[in-house]
Amino acid sequence: MFLLSSRDTRARAILLMIGAIFFFSAMDSTAKALAQEIGVLPTLWARYAGQTLFVLALVARRFPGVLKTRHPRLQLARSLFLLLATASYFVGISNIGLAEAAAIMNINPVLITLGAAVFLGEGLGIRRILGIAAAMTGALIVIRPGGEVFTIYAVFPLAAACCYSAYALTTRFVGRDEDIWTSLVYTGLIGAGILTLMVIPVWVMPSTKELALMALIALFGTIGQLCLIRALSQGEAGMLAPFAYTGLIFATFWGLVLFDEWPDGYSLLGAAIIACAGTYVWYRETFGARRP
């Protein structure tokens, strides 16, 4: 009975993780379309301001008790990590293809696996080192520094991957004994507060279409964030990490359907190397370590 319950919990965590990645990819594609109309900063503000309004409406009856936290510094840190990750990624997708940006961003599962090992006191084995090296090689193939197709904007998804990995690890730690709504409120309030101060000087009243896109960004981002926190609260970060690679599929789909973006052979090769490296590290550390 215990084993069945444990398996059900893992399966639920995996489905929540895939759901989170789907909604985040939908948010990214909407943000790419909106950023082309009004710029990155207002788009980023819409993502956070909208999520904050949704969350505050849902927790209105529990306010201000929902603000009580055992980890105020970690809540601030994880919120800043996510803000930096989202800002970097939005800059990236506004200037390069969704599939290419997603491929670079998807080195984060390897970084999460590495971080979970380091911060949980596990040893840094040769497999993890090789996995990190392979994933970075794949990212370099996609970015292709020095090549004719290279653009500095390809570096932004790489920065986003590092920040997101730090966010995921702190979320996993905080989620062990923190209310999910507390985490959502802090993520929204901190991000929205900082971005509101930044967007005021450049604000221009958006059109009806742009307001609709803003609402979609907020909705997709909120649902994705909720699914992610739930997933990381119910499953181990290392176990869930490989399922983030579904984002490659979702990003390629949205890029083809909405923006007519066709990833080239190098991008596909780099994405495959990144996915294989992450899956290998996850498999060896999750299943190989259990073998006597």
Q: pLDDT of 131-153, one tens digit each?
A: 777 777 777 777 666 555 567 88
Question: Taking a C-beta distance cutoff of 8 angstroms, is the pair 71, 222 a contact?
Answer: no
Mean of per-residue pLDDT scores for the chain: 80
**So what's the pLDDT on residue 137?**
79
Residues 128, 105, 97, 39, Cα dihedral to 10°:
-160
Contact indicator for 107, 248 with CB cutoff of 8 Å: no
Provide the token pair at 2: 């215990």
pLDDT band at 3 (very low <50, low <70, confident <90, very high): very low
For the chain, the domain total comes to 1
pLDDT recorded at residue 159 = 92
Q: What tokens appear for 260 in the block?
A: 């007519």
Kindly state whether residue 68 falls inside one of the protein's structural domains: yes
Classify residue 8: in a domain, yes or no.
Answer: no
Tens-digit pLDDT profile for residues 197-249: 999 998 888 899 999 999 999 889 888 878 887 887 787 766 776 777 778 78
**Nearest residue to 47 (alpha-carbon basis) of 222, 171, 247:** 222
Q: What is the pLDDT of residue 211?
A: 92
If you compute the radius of gyration of the chain from its CA atoms, what whole number of angstroms results?
19
* Mean pLDDT computed over 49-55: 82
Q: Residue 84 above 90 pLDDT?
A: yes
State mean pLDDT over 96-120.
77
Judge whether 114 lies within some domain: yes
Interatomic CA distance for residues 18 and 147, integer angstroms: 34
CA distance 48 to 26: 15
Dihedral over Cα of 145, 109, 280, 266: its sign: negative
Per the listing, tokens 């409120």 go with 185
Distance separating alpha carbons of residues 223 and 26, to the nearest angstrom: 11
Q: Which is higher by pLDDT, 218 or 42?
A: 42
Is 158 inside any structural domain?
yes
Q: What is the DSSP letter of 151?
A: -
pLDDT in tens, 277-290: 767 766 665 555 55
The per-residue pLDDT for 68 is 84
List, in order, residues 6 or more apart from 154 with CB less than 8 Å away.
92, 96, 100, 101, 104, 142, 143, 144
CB 267 within 8 A of CB 149: no
Q: Which residues constitute the domain of residue 55?
A: 15-290
pLDDT per residue as tens digits for the range 172-197? 778 777 777 888 888 888 999 999 99
Structure tokens belonging to residue 192: 């929205």
Residue 207 structure tokens: 């059109």
User: Among 286, 282, 290, which residue's Cα sits nearest to residue 108?
Assistant: 282
- Give the pLDDT band of residue 1 (cuts 50, 70, 90): very low
292 has pLDDT over 50: no
Neighbours of 64 (CB within 10 A): 8
CA dist 284 and 129 (Å) reads 12
Full-model pTM: 0.77
pLDDT at 5 over 80: no
Of 271, 277, 248, the closest CA to residue 98 belongs to 248
